[in-house]
Structure 1
C-alpha cells in the first residue's frame, strides 16, 4: 500500500510542478507582450470609398469616434487628416477629408491615428527643427524650437507614449508656440529611430527616464531654467520616474499628463482581465519580473519593480503641480487610477475628465477644451514660478 501512496504523491508533486511551470510560462509570455516593442503596426481599419472631400470607412469604435484624426496607409507611406463625421450608419462612417499630406488615398487597409499632424511643418503651426542629443545609449533624435530671446528660460519637453512616434506630441505644439515657450520633443530608447536597450524591451519608464533626463541636459545647456513636462500614456510613467530620480527635477515647474500610466500594476491587471487571464497570473508575473533573474522570465536586462511605478501608493511623494487629462472610456490605460490619484492629492493634481475619447484622444475629441485647460494651467505655472524666481 505504501508504494501506491508514494506513486500517488509523486504524481501529485509532478502535477503541481507542471502546473506551476505552465503558470510561469504563461505569465512570462503575457508580460513579454507588454514589454516588447511591436515590429509592425496593424492597418486594422478599412477605407471603403474616397471622393474629393470625403472618405468612407468601415464602422469601428475608432472610425466612429467624434473629432479630428489621421489616416495612415501602406506602411505609413500615405497620410491624410480627417475631420468630423458627415454621415454614418450601422456599417460605415463618412468623414470630411481635411488634407492629404502625402500619398494617394484609395480604398483599402488603413490605420486610424490620433496623431493628426504627421510631422512638423510651417503651414499648420507645428514648425520644429531636427536635432540630436547625447543619451546614455548614444545619439538620440528629437525636434526642437529654441527660444526667440536668450533670456526666455521656460522650455516645454514633450514625451510620447509606448510604441508611439514623436508625432504624437505635435498636437500640443501650436499652443506652446503661441505661449512663447521653447519646445523639445525627444526620442527615447526602443523608438524606431533610436538605439534600443540591450534587451530590446520596454522598461515601463524605469530606464527610459534617463533618455529624457539627457534631453533636459540639452535644454539646460541652452538656457532652460524652468521646464514644463508633458507625457502621453507611458510617457506619463516616464515623466513620473524622471521627477523621482533626475538631477533636473527641481527645474520642473509643471506637469501635463494625458491618459497617463500612473500605476502599471493596475494597467497590467486590466489587460489580464481583458484577455480573461486570472489576476493571480498577473500578480505573479509582476512579482517575477522584479526579481534579479527576470531576464529569463520577461527577457529584460534589469529587474522591473512594478510597485515602484504605482503612484497611487506613492502619492505622498508627489510635489510638482500636475494637470491630469483622462477619458473615462480609455480602452488601454484605465481611467480609475488617475481618478484615485487625483483624489489622493487634490492639492497637487488637477483632474480633467473626458468622455468618448478612448486612449490619448482627448485633444482629438475636443481640441478647444484641451487647449483651454492646458493653456490656463501652463500660463499659471509659468507666472507663479516666475514670481518665485523673482523672490529669490
Structure 2
C-alpha cells in the first residue's frame, strides 16, 4: 500500500506562477492530475476490501509431527511471545505457532503447536495472524450455524450457547464484530470468557467481508454502513430470547459498534461495549496510515475528502459518502453514554492507542481504558490471554449490573 510520489507535498507546485505562465499552467495541470490520481488510488485502497498478502517468508520447517518448528525472519511481529497462526496457500491452511525456541537477531525459531503442519512444511510464504481459532468447535463449545437476515441479505453467524441456557446470564447476548480484512473467527478469542460468564454469543459476518453478501458497491463504509448488519444481529438476538446486548468489536469492528450504539433504533438494548484496539477516530487513523506509507499530507487529506464528499463517489465507488466527522469519538466523547471497555496495546502500529486513551480521559464516567504492551494490533489476547480474559471478566459483569435494565 506504500505510495512514494517523491515529494512531501505537491500543492505548492499547483500555485506556481510568474514568468512562463503557460508552461507553469501546463505543469500545474499535470501535477494536479497526478495528485488527484494518487489521492484517488489511496482512497480506493481504504474502502475496497483487501485480501491478505503472503508477505512473510518461511525459511525452514523441521522436526517430526508434534515436534515441528518453523524458522522465520525476526521482525516486530514474529518475535513477540504468545500464540499465533501462520496462514499459507492463500489462507486455505493454517499452522498454529507457539513459544519462541531461539532468536539470533535475523531469524526466529518457534514451535509449531498444531493446525495444518503438513501444508506448512511445503510452503515458502504465508501471513502472520492473531486469528488462531477457526471455529467454535476448537474451543469445545456448543454452537449452531445460523443465518442473520440483514439489509444486504442472509449473513452467516455462529451462535454459541452458554453451559446453562436457562440461567439469567444467558439472556445477555454478546455480538462479536470483526475488523477490516478479517472474518468472524477473529472474535472467537473472546468466546471462552463470555462462555464462562454464562452469556450467549453471536459471532457475525457483515457485508463485503467475504462471508456475508456483497453490498454498497463492494466497498467498506468504515462502520457507516456495516452497523446496519449489526443492528439486524441485535434484532435476531432479541427475537431469540436476548434481553440485553453487549457488542464485542475488534479494530474497525469497534468503529462499527460505536456507529451501532449511535444510530440503531435498538440502542437502548445495548448495555455495554467491549472494544479491542478500536478505531475511535478515522481521521487520526487514516492520517497515521498515510504518514506510515509515506503518502504526502496533501494526498492523504485529499483522499479523505474523496471518501467523505458526495463528489468523490465516482472515484471511490462508494454508494454514499462516509461521514468521518461522526466517527470522531474523541471530539464526540460526551455523546458516548454506554459503558465501554477499551483494551488497546500502546505499541499498536496500525490503529494508534492515543485516541482510545484520550476518549477515556474525556469520558471517564463511561469509558475505561486498559493498556497492554507488545501486542501491536488486536493481539492483546494472543500475548496474554489470562490477563485479557481477567480484565473482561472483572469489568463486564460489574458494568452490566450498573447499567439501566433494558425493557423486557
Q: Same fold (TM over 0.5)?
A: yes
1:339 Cα deviation after fit? 1.6
1:284 Cα deviation after fit? 2.1
1:91 Cα deviation after fit? 2.7
1:26 maps to which residue?
38
CA contact (8 A) 1:259 1:333 kept: yes
1:11 maps to which residue?
23
CA contact (8 A) 1:125 1:173 kept: no
Aligned pair count reads 385
46-55 or 357-366, larger mean C-alpha shift = 46-55
Distance 2:118 2:157 in 1: 24
Matched, 1:112 2:128: yes
1:56 maps to which residue?
70
The residue correspondences of 1:76-95 to structure 2 (distance < 5 A) are: 76-95=91-110
- Segments of structure 2 that go 5 or more residues without pairing to the other structure are 1-16
SS in 2 for 1:371: helix
Q: Structure 1 residues 86 and 251, CA, compared in 2 at 3 Å: closer, same or farther?
A: same
Distance 2:55 2:24 in 1: 47
- Using the size of structure 2 for normalisation, the TM-score is 0.89
2:4 maps to which residue?
none
Matched, 1:36 2:27: no
CA contact (8 A) 1:79 1:103 kept: no
Distance 1:101 1:166 in 2: 20
Deviations 1:281-307 (A, max 9, x none): 212221232222222222212111211
Q: Structure 1 residues 126 and 61, CA, compared in 2 at 3 Å: closer, same or farther?
A: farther
Distance 1:302 1:85 in 2: 47
The residue correspondences of 1:1-392 to structure 2 (distance < 5 A) are: 8-52=20-64, 53-58=67-72, 59-100=74-115, 104-106=119-121, 108-121=124-137, 123-146=138-161, 148-149=165-166, 152-385=170-403, 388-389=404-405
Distance 2:315 2:42 in 1: 10
Distance 1:106 1:127 in 2: 32
Give me the CA root mean square deviation: 2.2
SS in 2 for 1:199: helix
Q: Structure 1 residues 391 and 34, CA, compared in 2 at 3 Å: closer, same or farther?
A: closer
1:6 Cα deviation after fit? 11
CA contact (8 A) 2:43 2:306 kept: no
Deviations 1:172-210 (A, max 9, x none): 111111111011011001111221123111111000100
CA contact (8 A) 1:319 1:348 kept: yes
39-48 or 61-70, larger mean C-alpha shift = 39-48
1:212 Cα deviation after fit? 0.8
Deviations 1:344-389 (A, max 9, x none): 112211111111111100001111110110111111123333xx43
CA contact (8 A) 2:243 2:406 kept: no
SS in 2 for 1:149: coil
1:40 Cα deviation after fit? 4.9
Distance 2:406 2:41 in 1: 54
Q: Structure 1 residues 70 and 40, CA, compared in 2 at 3 Å: closer, same or farther?
A: closer
Distance 2:384 2:396 in 1: 18
Deviations 1:252-293 (A, max 9, x none): 111111011111101110111112222222122212322222
Distance 1:379 1:142 in 2: 24
Distance 2:332 2:230 in 1: 22
Q: Structure 1 residues 127 and 54, CA, compared in 2 at 3 Å: closer, same or farther?
A: farther
